[in-house]
Chains A and B, each alone.
Chain A
């Protein structure tokens, strides 16, 4: 007789499981409902992992500091909890605004004009400068340069296009 309530509970749980454990593919919102941000083509250049964490528990991830700048400009209505980047030396995730940055000119032929490299420790940044050149800077300065690069790259593109190159 005690089997009956157990079976009833099992039936309820099976139904609950069917509802919640549905196929993950079906749970994805349709294409029209998804946030539609095109792939940022700067990611194919010099790569540094970067993330923006918003206070609504959503996040955006990219492999480029330039893409980070663009994403910051897209989601203006959201409150940023933290901007994080990968420490170039330790590979750990660090606060981009607290990081020590190395700003340097890239060598000819490299797919970026500038190095914008983050470090968690100043000592690591200094030893990078000693080895590869560049200078120390902060996040504000880096972002200023990022938006300068974006404008220059776009204007150069349009100029080349006008010339038919």
Chain B
């Protein structure tokens, strides 16, 4: 009788043990998939909820000032570009003040690594990007490839300011008014075809004279980034498939 009771107890405990294993396994696989479901807000430096209203007020004021500035420019493109530059710079600075940052603006300190590939943004300062969205959240990426991924994922969000590291000086410059060089001999970051930004168009021309490539505006760089994404995926998969087949053949 005792044996039977002991056996039942052991069996029930074994069942619980197996159940425990299964539970842990389920959680593990769930956590793997949770990335796709997403953790909104965890990727970027977000504005705390209690400061969000104040941020929207600041943004609105700056936007109005920008609109007035543009009105005064008439059809002068250079003047509009200056207004845009000043607006974006002030957005970043005001955000810094709002968050009570003790140090001056440093995007690498705010985002030391790229949230998509994990690469060190200081090491890739010459290609890094910084995006400030209208809700006050920011993202620091290693390259246009990862920045484009971020903006595509958040397609319903408005980027207020998109900045990129100047290829030569590594200083952050406005990505939309920068001179971009697409292609050339130098390998790109996260892609085979490079996309580099220069604050001075003459520097872009000098780069092309030495290393090749073509100049383009930001929208051309975005087009190139997305068209290269699929080419790179296909190339990587093909290479891996060939390697696998080689291994199997041996």
| A interface, CB within 8 angstroms of B | 2-3, 6, 9-10, 13-14, 16-17, 19-22, 24, 27-29, 31, 34-42, 44, 57-62, 66-67, 69-74, 76, 79-80, 140, 143-144, 146-148, 150-151, 153-155, 157-159, 161-162, 164
Please pick, from A6, A60, A71, the residue contacting B6 in the complex, using a CB distance under 8 A.
Answer: A6
Known A-B contacts A21-B16, A69-B230, A161-B158; A151 and B225 likewise in contact (beta carbons under 8 Å): yes
Task: List, in ascending order, chain B residues with CB within 8 A of A35's CB.
Answer: 32, 34-35
Is there an interface contact between B36 and A21, defined as CB atoms closer than 8 Å?
Answer: no
Write the chain B residue with the least CB distance to A149: B226
Q: Which of B23-31, B47-55, B96-104, B163-171 contacts A (4 or more CB under 8 A)?
A: B23-31
Write the chain B residue with the least CB distance to A21: B20
A56 CB to closest chain B CB, in angstroms?
9
Task: List, in ascending order, chain A residues with CB within 8 A of B232's CB.
Answer: 73, 76
B61 CB to closest chain A CB, in angstroms?
15
A115 CB to closest chain B CB, in angstroms?
18
Task: List, in ascending order, chain B residues with CB within 8 A of A76's CB.
Answer: 117, 190, 232-233, 236
Task: List, in ascending order, chain A residues with CB within 8 A of B28's CB.
Answer: 27
Known A-B contacts A17-B16, A21-B20; A36 and B31 likewise in contact (beta carbons under 8 Å): no
- How many pairs of residues, A versus B, come closer than 8 Å at their CB atoms? 182
Tell me, yes or no, whether B159 is within 8 Å of chain A by CB. Answer: yes
Task: List, in ascending order, chain A residues with CB within 8 A of B21's CB.
Answer: 20
| B interface, CB within 8 angstroms of A | 2-3, 6, 9-10, 13-14, 16-17, 19-21, 23-24, 26-40, 42-43, 63, 67, 84, 115-117, 145, 148-160, 162, 176, 190, 218-219, 222-223, 225-227, 229-230, 232-234, 236-237, 240
Is there an interface contact between A150 and B240, defined as CB atoms closer than 8 Å?
Answer: no
Alpha-carbon gap, A41 to B149, bound state (A): 12
Is there an interface contact between B35 and A60, defined as CB atoms closer than 8 Å?
Answer: yes
Is there an interface contact between A40 and B148, defined as CB atoms closer than 8 Å?
Answer: no
Is there an interface contact between A58 and B32, defined as CB atoms closer than 8 Å?
Answer: yes
Write the chain B residue with the least CB distance to A29: B31
A6 CB to closest chain B CB, in angstroms?
4
Write the chain A residue with the least CB distance to B20: A21
Known A-B contacts A20-B20, A73-B145; A6 and B10 likewise in contact (beta carbons under 8 Å): yes
Alpha-carbon gap, A23 to B31, bound state (A): 14
A78 CB to closest chain B CB, in angstroms?
10
Task: List, in ascending order, chain A residues with CB within 8 A of B84's CB.
Answer: 162
Write the chain B residue with the least CB distance to A14: B13
14 A-B pairs whose Cβ atoms sit less than 8 Å apart in the complex: A2-B6, A21-B17, A22-B24, A35-B35, A37-B36, A41-B156, A59-B32, A69-B230, A70-B153, A73-B149, A147-B227, A148-B227, A155-B219, A162-B176
Write the chain A residue with the least CB distance to B28: A27
Question: Which of A3, A76, A144 has its CB near the most chain B CB atoms (within 10 A)?
Answer: A76
Is there an interface contact between B229 and A73, defined as CB atoms closer than 8 Å?
Answer: yes
Question: Which of A42, A44, A154, A159 has its CB near the most chain B CB atoms (within 10 A)?
Answer: A154
A92 CB to closest chain B CB, in angstroms?
20
Task: List, in ascending order, chain A residues with CB within 8 A of B159's CB.
Answer: 157-158, 161
Which 9 residue pairs are nearest across A and B when measured between Cβ atoms? A21-B20, A35-B35, A20-B20, A39-B38, A151-B226, A6-B6, A13-B13, A60-B36, A27-B27
Alpha-carbon gap, A36 to B34, bound state (A): 8
Alpha-carbon gap, A52 to B38, bound state (A): 15
Task: List, in ascending order, chain A residues with CB within 8 A of B219's CB.
Answer: 155, 158-159
Alpha-carbon gap, A151 to B152, bound state (A): 8
Is there an interface contact between B227 and A41, defined as CB atoms closer than 8 Å?
Answer: no
Task: List, in ascending order, chain B residues with CB within 8 A of A74's CB.
Answer: 116, 149
